[in-house]
Amino acid sequence: MIHPKAVSKKRTNKEIIKDVDAFVTVVLIDPIAIPLAKTLARLRVSPNAITTASLLFAILSGYALVNAQYLAAAISYYLSILLDCVDGKVARATGRTSNFGREYDAAADTISTLILSISTAMVGINTHNIFMTIVPITYLGDLWTATSYHNATRQSIDNSKASGAYKLPNNRMIYARPTPFDKAFYNFVIIPLVLGVLQQSVLTILVCIISILLSALAIGARIIRAIKSAAAK
């Protein structure tokens, strides 16, 4: 049950956003997500319902991707990650944060990532683009090493203490390094967008190679950190 004060209290932007966030979130998502979250909070929409909608858009994006509807796939995944950013804001704005909500959101994110990764690999196979097939493999490796690092150290490799943070002109703080969220946007919005506009071209291959290199560098950095940490003990 929603506490009346939780809904009626006017929340400031600072109360519903994170202190430090991904570049994509701050620059490309939050300008829409923040006012949308406030509207949905006033309408008393359940954060878990928003998470479900986010997952459905991710499934739609994967379906569009394997059916060569690349622009539709890019738009659908943008809507998915938009709602993924909104659900937590609505929960904080209405005082409805819960362990179930966090677990459900994490499970939905995992399912979405697997669906889009498999779909992207299938597109690479169907179009004979080996680089696009490798993109989800390196991205999943990036996620796995990030999770392993977090579990081992209880702090994310991408947090502000580990990698530094920058303040934007609007006073929002962003991580200095690309986060897995930034890379998901790149892999499942930018790459399909380029593919939809340019089809198979040198630029399509180039954007895939950039994704592979970003994930490979992140994996390498975590491995080096782990080796140095082990040697210091």
- The reply to whether 181 falls in a domain is yes
In CATH, what number is assigned to the domain containing residue 212? Answer: 1.20.120.1760
Q: pLDDT tens digits, residue range 102-148?
A: 999 999 999 999 999 999 999 999 989 999 999 999 999 999 888 87
> Range of 77's domain?
13-232
pLDDT, position 168: 81
Distance CA 28, CA 193 (A): 15
- The reply to whether 61 falls in a domain is yes
Residues 6+ apart with CB under 8 A from 176: 160, 163, 164, 165, 166
The secondary structure of 55-99 as a DSSP string is HHHHHHHHHHHHTT-HHHHHHHHHHHHHHHHHHHHHHHHHT---H
- The reply to whether 4 falls in a domain is no
- The reply to whether 6 falls in a domain is no
pLDDT, position 17: 78
pLDDT, position 13: 64
pLDDT, position 222: 85
Number of domains in the chain: 1
Helices 99-126 and 130-153: crossing angle in degrees, nearest 10, is 160
Distance CA 74, CA 60 (A): 10
pLDDT, position 160: 44
Which helix H or strand E contains 167, and what residues bound it? strand 165-167
pLDDT, position 103: 95
Distance CA 211, CA 191 (A): 9
Burial class (CB in 10 A: 0-12, 13-18, 19+), 109: buried
**One pLDDT digit (tens) per residue for the chain, 233 residues:** 344 344 434 555 656 778 888 999 999 999 999 999 999 999 999 999 999 999 999 999 999 999 999 999 999 999 999 999 999 999 988 888 899 999 999 999 999 999 999 999 999 999 899 999 999 999 999 998 888 766 665 554 444 444 577 788 778 888 888 888 999 999 999 999 999 988 767 888 999 999 999 999 999 988 888 888 778 76
- The reply to whether 33 falls in a domain is yes
- The reply to whether 194 falls in a domain is yes
pTM of the predicted model, to two decimals?
0.86
Alpha carbon separation from 25 to 35, 61, 112, 130 (Å, rounded): 14, 19, 17, 29
Burial class (CB in 10 A: 0-12, 13-18, 19+), 30: buried
User: Strand, coil or helix: what is 21?
Assistant: strand
- The reply to whether 65 falls in a domain is yes
Provide the total of helices (H) and of strands (E) in the chain, helices listed first: 12, 3
Which of 117, 11, 6, 139 lies closest to 66, judged by CA?
A: 117
Q: pLDDT tens digits, residue range 181-202?
A: 999 999 999 999 999 988 767 8
Distance CA 67, CA 1 (A): 42
For residue 199, is it left (φ>0), alpha (ψ between -120 and 50) or beta? left
